Structure 1
Amino acid sequence: MSTTQGTTLAPQLRKRRRKEAVAAYLFLAPWFVGLVAITAGPLLSSLYLSFTDYSLIGDSQWVGFDNYVEMFTDDPRFLKALNNTAVYVFVSVPLQLTFALALALVLDRGVRGLPFYRSIYYLPSLLGGSVAVAILWRQVFGSEGLVNEVLGWFGVEGESWVAHPDTALGTLIVLNVWTFGAPMVIFLAGLRQIPRSYYEAAGLDGAGQLRQFFSITLPLLTPIVFFNLVLQLINSFQSFTQAFVVSGGKGGPSDSTLLLTMHIYQEGFGNFQMGYASAMAWFLVVVIAVLTGVNFLMSRYWVFYSD
C-alpha cells in the first residue's frame, strides 16, 4: 500500500472507530444510568446521612462523627450484634466450605447421574435466603419440629432450639452451612481442571489418597478456595432474611440472633434513626473491605497458581 493510500484511509479508520465507540457507549448507557441512579447516588447519600441526625421526617442535622462514636460508647446492642455477626461468619463460612469441598470430592469420583445430584445440592443455595425456607427452618428447630422428633427416637426430649439464647444462633449457622451448593459447584469445576496424570504419577510413586489430596488436590485448588472464601465472607456479613424471619424480626431471644444487618434495619426503619443506621452500614462496609483486603494480602502465602 502506498503512502498516499495510507494517508487517505487513516481519517476513514478514525471515523469508523468513533462510530463504534459511540455505539458502544449507547449500549452501555442504561448500565451507567443504573450505576448513577440506583447504586452510586444512594451510596453517596447514605455516606452523607451517616454524619447527620436524620429521622426520615424533617431535615437532617449535621452531627459529624457523633453517630460513629455512639456505636461503641452508647449502644450495647451494636456490640452484641457485632459479636453475633462475628461468630456467625467465622463459624459458618469454614464449615460451609468444608462441606462443599467434601461433597465436591465425592461427586468428582464419577457418580452416575452427576447433573441430577449437582442440581439437587445446588438448590439450597437458591432457596437459602428465601422467606419460605427461613419459616420452614423455624418449624424444623421448633419445640415440636423435626429435630426434636428425631431426638425423641433416642429418648431425648428437646426444647425449641430457636427460642433458647444458647442455641438460636446455632440454628442460623446450620442454615448458612446448609446453603453450600454454590461453592460446591465451583469446587467441582476446579477439581475437573486438575489433570488426572498427576494422580496417576503420584499413585505410581506410592502416594495414598490422603497424601494425594494434600500434595496435589488442595494446592492446585487454593485459587478456588480463595475465591469461595472471599465470596462467602461477603455474603455471610450481609445475611438478613434468615435471622429476621427465624427470630420474628426482633433478633431474639435476648438478642442472641441479632445480626448487624438486622440492627441496621431496626434502627433505620423501626426507630427512624436513618443517620445512625447509615453510619452502622458504612462501618459494615469498612469491615468487609478490610477483611477482603487482608485475604488478598495473605493469599500470596497460601494460594498457588499453576502455569
Structure 2
Amino acid sequence: MALDLLDRTLAFDATSAVAPDEVAGGDIFGRIGPLEVRLARNDREIEAAQALRYRVFVEEMNARLPPEAMLARRDFDAYDDFCDHLLVLDNALDGDVEDQVVGTYRLLRQEVAMRHGGFYSAGEFDIEPLLARHPDKQFMELGRSCVLPNYRTKRTVELLWQGNWAYALKYKMGAMFGCASFPGTQPEEHALALSFLAQTVGAHGEWAVSARPELARPMDLMPAEAVNARKALSAMPPLIKGYLRLGAMVSTEAVVDQAFNTTDVLIILPIASISDRYVNYYGADAGRFAS
C-alpha cells in the first residue's frame, strides 16, 4: 500500500515551476511559496509523518493497523527505522515543525533494503527476478505516500516529485517502483481501469513483475474491444494516471490488501523512460540538490 491518494495528476506547465534558488546546497529539495520539500531530520519529524499517514490511511481510508499503531495513532512499521522520509511542510502554519508536515513519501534505496531484509513491496510482489535482470541498476522504492486533504493540489504533487527526482539523482538511482492502490478489496469493481492497465501498459520482458502466487489476482478482466480508454482513465486513481504520464509500466497482476482496504498494483518506472518533458522540467532545478 503506497502511492495513493494524491488527487492531482502530474500535468505541468512552465508557469508553475519549482523555485528553490535560495536553498541550493542545503537539505531542502524545493520550494513553492510557503511549501518546501525535504527529508525528515529527526525522530519527531518521522513521527509527524507517521501521524499524517494515520490520519489518511485509518481515519479517511479505514485501514486496520496493528493494535500498537492504533493506540499511538501513528502508522509505523519496522521499515520506518531505515527508510528516508520525504516531507512537504507548510511554513505558514503556526506551531512546531512537526505541526507543519502536510505530505510525505517513504523512500527506500536498494542498497539499504538489502541490508535490512528487502523491500516492503516484496510482501505482495515477486521483485527478486526484476532486480536480478538489472544488476547494473539501483532501484528505489516509493511508499506510504499521502497528503492532507486541503493540500491535494498540483503544487504539493510537484514538490513531492521535485523531492523524488532530486533524491534519485543524488543516489544515482536507475529505476523507481512501488505499490499503487485502488480503493476497496474487490478488483472486479475496477475491471475497466485494471484491464486497460494490463492491456496497454503492462510490464513485460525485462521489466515484468508477478504478484506473489498466493496473493495474485487477475487484472485483465474485460476483452480488449470492451475497454474504452477514455472511460478507463477517468475511472483511475489520479496518481496512477500521473505515473503513466511519466512513462511508467504496471504489473499485470494485482494484490488485495485487506489491512489497508485496497487493491494494489505495482508501478515500475525506469529513470530512462521518464519523458523528456518531465526530465527537463525537474532536471535543471533538482540537479542542484543532488550533490
What's the TM-score once normalised by structure 1's chain length? 0.22
TM-score by length of 2: 0.23
User: Which structure is higher in helix share?
Assistant: 1
Higher Rg of the two aligned structures: 1
